[in-house]
Amino acid sequence: MTEPAFSLRTSGRLRRRQLVNKVMGALALGAALLAVSVLAIVVISVAIRGASALNLDFFTKNEAQGFNPTGGGVRFAIVGTAVIVGIATLIALPLGVLVAVYVSDLASPRFARITRLALDVTNGLPTIVIGIFVFTMVVASHGQSALAGSLALAIIMVPLIARSTEEVLLLVPTAQREASLALGVSRWRTTFSIVIPSAMGGILTGTTLAIARAAGETAPLLFLTSLGTNSTADSNPLHPLQSMTYAIFKYSNLADAGFQAKAWATAFTLMCFVLITSLASKLAMAHYRKKLGG
């Protein structure tokens, strides 16, 4: 056997190309690690700074009377956020699902495209703009209320719910719709009796994601319901209510370390809620997609 006249080993220019290859790979890895570590650093530092203020009173008591940085809790803010986001969900869920049904099952392809675009643009609107809109429409004439805040959050949630619902509605096999239609069942009845129940898991996870997003909103709530209100534990949606995000904002502006710890602790609580709900809903969605797809 004679030796071949060429070699398959690394040599010359190839050595340089492989070096470039390695460097680029390392840079990409570094960028990815940075992105992950930012999240880790934020979570850890917020946890450390808020830890001292986290105790049972923090969740169950309202703000202490007078200037008392260490006593009391943020129950008022948790209740406020729950009421505001809860009502926003009640408004946005049916609306979002109906929009999705329209886009996926009823609209002409052209109008469906326009609707989708509108949803995406709404989703991209700075939330402060939505806040200003609701302020002029509602608050300017009727005064601050939790309901006004809910309205703004609902505007933020509808496109999120509509888009994620549309996605799962499209995953429901055509064969299911056909089976129902072939029985002489009308279109909307098919949608509500067959398609939506099949897609329910996906709709709920999409909604959970939207809730997590809405709970973290600050800007639109500032001048609709939170700013300048006192910290009572009211839960009447017609009254202005505080929210967790506003409590963070307010406490972090106070000089005392006790209040600042409270700001961190509130941030930690809110962050945990958002992280857990979005993670859980993403996992549920992946599971659900697999189930429908298979």
Partner 1 sequence: MELIKTKIDVAGQERLSMSERETVFEARDVSVFYGNQRAIDSVNIDIYQRLITAIIGPSGCGKSTFIRTLNRMTDLVPSARLTGKLRYRGIDLYGPGVDAVEVRRRIGMVFQKPNPFPKSIYDNVAYGLRILGMKKDLDDRVEKALHSAALWDEVKDRLKDSALGLSGGQQQRLCIARAIAVEPEVILLDEPASALDPIATSAIEDLMHELKRDYTIVIVTHNMQQAARVADMTAFFGLNVTPEGSREGILVEYDKTEKIFTNPSDSRTEGYVTGRFG
Would you count residue 21 as binding partner 1 (CB under 8 A)? no
Is 178 a binder of partner 1 (CB under 8 A)?
Answer: yes
* Token pair 């105790």 in the structure block, residue: 55
Min CB(156)–partner 1 separation in Å: 33
Q: Binding to partner 1 by residue 91, rule CB under 8 A? A: no
Nearer to partner 1 by Cβ, of 22 and 291: the residue is 291
Q: Pick left, alpha or beta for residue 108 (phi over 0 → left; psi -120 to 50 → alpha; otherwise beta).
A: beta
200 binds partner 1 (CB under 8 A): no
DSSP string, 152-193: HHHHHHHHHHHHHHHHHHHHS-HHHHHHHHTTT--HHHHIII
The pair of three-digit structure tokens given for residue 229, joined into one six-digit string: 């209100």
- Find tokens 């409590």 and name the residue: 247
In the complex, least distance from residue 174 CB atom to partner 1, rounded to whole angstroms:
9
CB of 178 to partner 1, least distance (A): 6
Cβ atoms of 96 and 156 within 8 Å: the answer is no
Q: Is 182 in the site for partner 1 (CB under 8 A)?
A: yes
**Radius of gyration of the chain measured on its C-alpha atoms:** 26
Which residue from 176, 257, 272, 283 is in contact with partner 1, where contact means CB under 8 A? 176
Helices (H) and strands (E) in the chain, counts: 13, 0
According to the binding rule CB under 8 A, does residue 253 interact with partner 1? Answer: no
Nearest Cα neighbor of 89 from 191, 270, 217, 193 is 217
* Residue 173 makes contact with partner 1 by CB under 8 A: yes
Closer to partner 1 by Cβ: residue 59 or 192: 192
Q: Tokens in use for 77? A: 């803010």
Q: Which stretch binds partner 1 (CB under 8 A): 12-20, 57-65, 190-198, 229-237?
A: 190-198
* Residue partners of 166: CB distance under 8 A and separation at least 6: 99, 100, 103, 104, 116
Work out whether 175 is an interface residue with partner 1 (CB under 8 A).
Answer: yes
Residue span binding partner 1 (CB under 8 A) among the ranges 6-14, 59-67, 89-97, 193-201: 193-201
Taking CB under 8 A as the binding criterion, the range among 50-58, 61-69, 183-191, 210-218 that sits at the site for partner 1 is 183-191
Q: CB of 185: closest distance to partner 1 in angstroms?
A: 5
Enumerate binding residues for partner 1 (CB under 8 A).
Answer: 108-109, 173, 175-176, 178-187, 189, 193-194, 198
